[in-house]
């Protein structure tokens, strides 16, 4: 959530486009809910791009090879502990055009699917994260409501610092601090909460 909001604050045109999409889908009489996600493809593109740039867990959980094998010309003996560096995969210029640039449009048409093994923020296969569906739905509906109900601004004219912090889960080095004001057109809905 923090990475997604930070990216949106640094790219106000993307935030505005997401707000327009939500307004067209839900109007201004109710809050976005989980059932709206299928009709908000641009919001899903933003989520996918956020996960690509800042995966929650940059190194997937270790796996052990169950038999001798050769991968990309490398001999992997049985019992070898393998780590997948998904951060490196998600930032590989051989796989992604301008991999360091925030570009939600790169996921247009892939909103609800994976892009092979080049995009796997929750791992893959039978050892993939069982919470993926819940995480995507919760992030989508929560981020959707925050975009729908508030106008967001950074505290200063400077861009939000996107430096990555240390840790198993990739936190921001500096926490996000931003201003939000309720959107006038959503005040009636917010007053009912």
Q: Write the CA distances from 110 to 23, 34, 125, 176, 177, integer angstroms.
A: 22, 19, 18, 29, 31
Block residue for tokens 């038999």: 67
Provide the 3-class DSSP secondary structure of residue 141.
Answer: helix
Please check if 69 is assigned to a binding site: no
For 57, left (φ over 0), alpha (ψ -120 to 50), or beta?
Answer: beta
Sign of CA dihedral 24, 26, 28, 31: negative
Q: Rounded to the nearest 5°, which phi and psi values hold at 146? A: -65, -40
Beta bridge partners of residue 69, listed in sequence order: 76
Q: What does residue 112 show for φ and ψ, rounded to 5 degrees?
A: -110, 15
Name, in order, each residue with C-beta under 8 angstroms of 150's C-beta and a sequence gap of 6 or more: 180, 181, 182, 183
Residues making up the annotated binding site for heme are 129
Residues making up the annotated binding site are 129
């Amino acid at each position: 959530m923090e990475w997604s909001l930070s990216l949106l604050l640094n790219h106000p045109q993307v935030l505005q486009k997401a707000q327009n999409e939500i307004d067209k889908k839900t109007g201004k009489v109710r809050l976005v809910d989980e059932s709206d996600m299928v009709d908000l493809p641009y919001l899903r593109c933003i989520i996918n791009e956020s996960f690509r740039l800042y995966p929650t867990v940059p190194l997937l959980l270790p796996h052990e090879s169950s038999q001798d094998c050769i991968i990309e010309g490398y001999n992997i003996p049985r019992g070898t502990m393998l780590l997948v560096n998904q951060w490196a995969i998600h930032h590989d210029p051989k796989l992604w055009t301008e991999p360091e640039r925030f570009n939600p449009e790169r996921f247009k048409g892939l909103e609800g699917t994976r892009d092979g093994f080049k995009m796997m923020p929750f791992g893959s296969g039978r050892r993939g994260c069982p919470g993926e569906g819940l995480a995507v739905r919760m992030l989508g509906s929560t981020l959707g409501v925050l975009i729908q109900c508030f106008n967001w601004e950074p505290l200063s004219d400077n861009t939000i610092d996107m430096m990555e912090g240390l840790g198993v889960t990739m936190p921001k080095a500096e926490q996000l601090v931003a201003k939000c004001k309720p959107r006038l057109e959503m005040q009636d809905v917010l007053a009912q909460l």
